[in-house]
Amino acid sequence: MIFGKAVCYGGWSNNRLFCIIYGIFSKIPASFISTGTPVSGREWIFIMKRIEFFMAMEPPTVTHQEKAVRVVKGKPVFYEPARLSEARAKLKAHLCKFHPQEPLVGPVRLEVKWMFPASGKHRDGDWRDTRPDTDNLQKLLKDVMTTLGFWKDDAQVCLETVKKVWAAHPGIYILAQELES
């Protein structure tokens, strides 16, 4: 997670802001910047709250939709089948390495790229237009991220981009960033 202060002296070039962060010259995409406070002249201090990482893994294909029901004493009881519990545990094991010390606050942008192993007729970068549905994949992922404290409530996610592709290097890319309120 980036919680940094940047004193920026240059300006904008190709939608990038040239900044000095902790004495290191950097180019920061404009979309990374959540707030700015003028200091003097052309100097600005920016606070960036962003979590970005890639989890190298074969993404689970079981989704939150696959909860099951059984009847106990004439009443329906919902439960997670073993496959769904395993998928939840797999996501939790990978995500726990990246959970923040403090949850993101306010509105959040979430970008996720599901990269499934390419094989046969599927080439690296081709869209995966088969099951599972992205909305069902996202539900399980956001539930686990909420449990691990990425945010207090997944209702905070106000801007969401989801991609599902075939890839030579399977995994899940995640970017979560606070938005200006």
The residues spanned by each domain of the chain are 2-49, 52-178
The pLDDT value recorded for residue 141 is 97
Domain 52-178 falls in which CATH fold?
A: 60s Ribosomal Protein L30; Chain: A; (3.30.1330)
Residue-level pLDDT at 31: 43
User: What average pLDDT is seen over the chain?
Assistant: 79
pLDDT, one tens digit per residue, over 122-165 is 999 999 999 999 999 999 999 999 999 999 999 999 999 999 99
**pTM beyond cutoff 0.85:** no
DSSP for 89-128 reads HHHHHHHTTT--SS-B-SSEEEEEEEEEEP-TTPPTT-B-
Structure tokens at 144: 């686990």
pLDDT of res. 77: 80
Q: What CATH number should be reported for the domain whose range is 2-49?
A: 2.30.30
C-alpha 70/C-alpha 1 separation (Å) is 42
Those residues with Cβ within 8 angstroms of residue 45's Cβ, 6 or more apart along the chain or in another chain: 5, 6, 7, 36, 37, 39
pLDDT score recorded for residue 47: 53
Residues of the chain whose pLDDT is less than 50? Answer: 1-46
Q: 43 forms bridges with which residues in the sheet?
A: 40
| pLDDT given at position 76 | 85
| N-to-C CA span, the chain | 19
- Amino acid 12: pLDDT: 42
Report the pLDDT value the prediction gives residue 64, as an integer from 0 to 100: 63
Q: What is the pLDDT of residue 72?
A: 84
